[in-house]
Structure 1
Amino acid sequence: MEIDRKAVEAHLRAFVESKRGVEAYVEPATSVTTTTIVLIAWDGEWTRRAVGSPKDGFEISQRLGVPVYDVNKTGYPNRMREWSKRRRQGDA
């Protein structure tokens, strides 16, 4: 899978600049996706993009100036699940 790194970073930067309290979570590659990064704002709103490797995810997060975590070690914050649940219910 070809990753447009400039477009990915531009999308993530726009998210960071338009939200408060953003944190990054690096997700491992799976059998169907490459390594991804999830940015999660203070209210649980999130966005996900493919980044290629864990190293890329950590480096992008550093450039964006946001805290970054390995999701295998920390799990996802409850606010992400709560926001997604509200969206499914039409409340977000």
Structure 2
Amino acid sequence: MGVFDSLRKKRKSGSGQVRTASKQDTTHLDEWASSRRGVEAFVEPRTHVTETTVLLVAHDGEWTRRRISSADAAFEFAKKRSMPIYEVERVGYPKRMREYQARQKRERG
């Protein structure tokens, strides 16, 4: 048995497949956005590891990320909620998000 045989076997058996967006993902995004203020959306492109995702960032930098079916679906999600939306590949991640993560890390120890 070769080094990569077990990986090929997993790929053929269907395990390790990328999970697609679900209704629970959209519900989470809705609930999260409605309970915070100043929320903006950032679309993250599909990769080899994950499907397209939408990142929501609140005014203070708190954030959440969930899968979404496509970039178009992310733009529609934001439009329905009158939420600004950006493409991460074009604008990058917001500074307030990085600052929030740094604060959380300091507070934990």
Selected match of 1:79 from 77, 80, 96:
96
Normalising by structure 2, we get a TM-score of: 0.76
Q: Which runs of 4+ in 1 moved over 2 A?
A: none
Deviations 1:54-91 (A, max 9, x none): 11111111122211111111111100000011112226
Aligned residue pairs, count: 90
Counterpart check, 1:3 vs 2:21: yes
Q: Retained in 2: the 8 A contact 1:34–1:52?
A: yes
Query: Between the two proteins, what is the percent identity of the paired residues?
Result: 44
Structure 1 residue aligned with 2:63, among 18, 42, 46? 46
Structure possessing the higher radius of gyration over alpha carbons: 2
If each structure's strand is expressed as a fraction of its own residues, which one has the higher value?
Answer: 1
In 1, distance between residues paired with 2:26 and 2:21?
Answer: 11
Q: Structure 1 length as normaliser, TM-score?
A: 0.89
After superposition, the CA RMSD in angstroms is 1.3
Q: Does the CA-based 8 Å contact 2:20-2:51 persist in structure 1?
A: no
User: Where does structure 2 lack aligned partners over 5 or more consecutive residues?
Assistant: 1-18
Contact 1:16 1:64 in 2 (8 A): no
SS of alignment partner, residue 80 of structure 1: helix
